[in-house]
Amino acid sequence: MRDLFRFLWRSRSTLLFIGLMVLSFLWLANGNDHHRAQTFTSSQAAIGTLYGWRDQVVRYTDLDGENEILAAAQAEMMNRMRSSYLNSSAPFVVVNDTLLQQQYKYISTRVLNSTTSKQKNFLTLDKGGKAGLAAGMGVIAANGIVGVVRECSPRFSTVTSVLNSSWNISVLNPRTEHFGLLNWDTADPTTARVKDIPKHARIVVGDTIVTGGDDRVFPKGVPVGVVESVVNDDGAVALDIIVRLSHDMTRIGHVWVVTDLLKLERDTLEAKLDAE
């Protein structure tokens, strides 16, 4: 008996090794057992906390990707917004038992390049014809209008920026219901000029200017800017209004391209009128 104990004591390392190996194999064999995984809940909580700290550090390295996802999600939400739908519930018009028909569709894109320092500024987007973009579509950012799609290749698009002196867009002061024409001739990337608003219109500093929507580039009511100064010159035929653009064109990342789904129908109808 003493010899046996002496033998066991002498080979204690080997025996411990065998014991630990058996233990690890039992662990491995029961590895997929859900209940055993629950045994370590307290340590799992500690481990989860540690990984949470890690994520708090690491998440900043993928802000680009996260932003991409959020922008796509917002485009999805804008597609469902009530203002994207045309009310077709007028008397005698019932189309497939739906009350609303979508009129505007938003496509999330990323600005690859943009200039603000030239007389005629353009932007480049990372989506093109393949994603459904086409010339003439409006481009908006989170705070307001950005420009209009100028040309599309299959994968990229160029956009005429709102900071382009050769481009005009119809704008509206929703408070007084006066339409005007926005043109960028201020040479300042934060402001633009609104023309053609008659002199009797009571435009005041601080009025919000939005898109008019009658040129079929943007939906009606997209923010454009806030009136910064109004000059009523005796010799002029219209007010001279300077607006501060609501979107900072020097800081532009994600933008949405607006598609008017009913544009083709309306254009075709109006082309017939022109032919007469």
Q: State the nearest-atom distance from the C-beta of 71 to other proteins, in Å.
A: 26
Q: State the nearest-atom distance from the C-beta of 64 to other proteins, in Å.
A: 18
- 205 contacts other proteins (rule: CB under 8 A): no
Cβ proximity to other proteins: between 47 and 112 the closer is 47
Q: State the nearest-atom distance from the C-beta of 90 to other proteins, in Å.
A: 58
Please check whether residue 205 is in contact with residue 227, taking contact to mean a CB–CB distance below 8 angstroms: yes
Residues 22-51 binding other proteins (CB under 8 A) are 23-28, 30-32, 37, 40, 43-44, 47, 50
Cβ proximity to other proteins: between 58 and 236 the closer is 58
- Dihedral, CA of residue 128, residue 132, residue 135 and residue 140, to nearest 10: -90
* Binding residue count for other proteins, defined by CB under 8 A: 23
Q: State the nearest-atom distance from the C-beta of 5 to other proteins, in Å.
A: 16
Phi, psi dihedrals of residue 41, rounded to the nearest 5°: -60, -40
The 57-76 site mask, x for binding other proteins (CB under 8 A), equals -x------------------
Using CB under 8 A, which of 8, 21, 69, 73 touches other proteins? 21
- Residue 148 to residue 140: CA distance in whole angstroms: 9
As given in the structure block, the two tokens for residue 32 are 């997929």
Choose among 229, 221, 137: nearest CA to 192: 229
Please check whether residue 63 is in contact with residue 253, taking contact to mean a CB–CB distance below 8 angstroms: no
As given in the structure block, the two tokens for residue 242 are 């300077």
Using CB under 8 A, which of 17, 199, 204, 270 touches other proteins? 17
- Alpha helices in 93-211, H assignment, sequence order: none
Establish how many alpha carbons lie within 13 A of residue 38's alpha carbon, considering only the half-sphere containing its beta carbon. 3
- 77 contacts other proteins (rule: CB under 8 A): no
**Would residue 97 be called left, alpha or beta, if left means φ above 0 and alpha means ψ between -120 and 50 degrees?**
left
Residues 209-248 binding other proteins (CB under 8 A) are none
- 100 contacts other proteins (rule: CB under 8 A): no
Cβ proximity to other proteins: between 30 and 119 the closer is 30
- Residue 121 to residue 187: CA distance in whole angstroms: 11
Cα 47 to Cα 2, 43, 51, 53, 61: the distances in Å are 47, 6, 6, 10, 22
Cβ proximity to other proteins: between 44 and 67 the closer is 44
By CB under 8 A, which span of 10-18, 111-119, 194-202, 245-253 interacts with other proteins? 10-18
- Residue 227 to residue 239: CA distance in whole angstroms: 12
Q: State the nearest-atom distance from the C-beta of 53 to other proteins, in Å.
A: 9
- Residues forming contacts to other proteins in the complex (CB under 8 A) are 12-13, 16-17, 20-21, 23-28, 30-32, 37, 40, 43-44, 47, 50, 54, 58
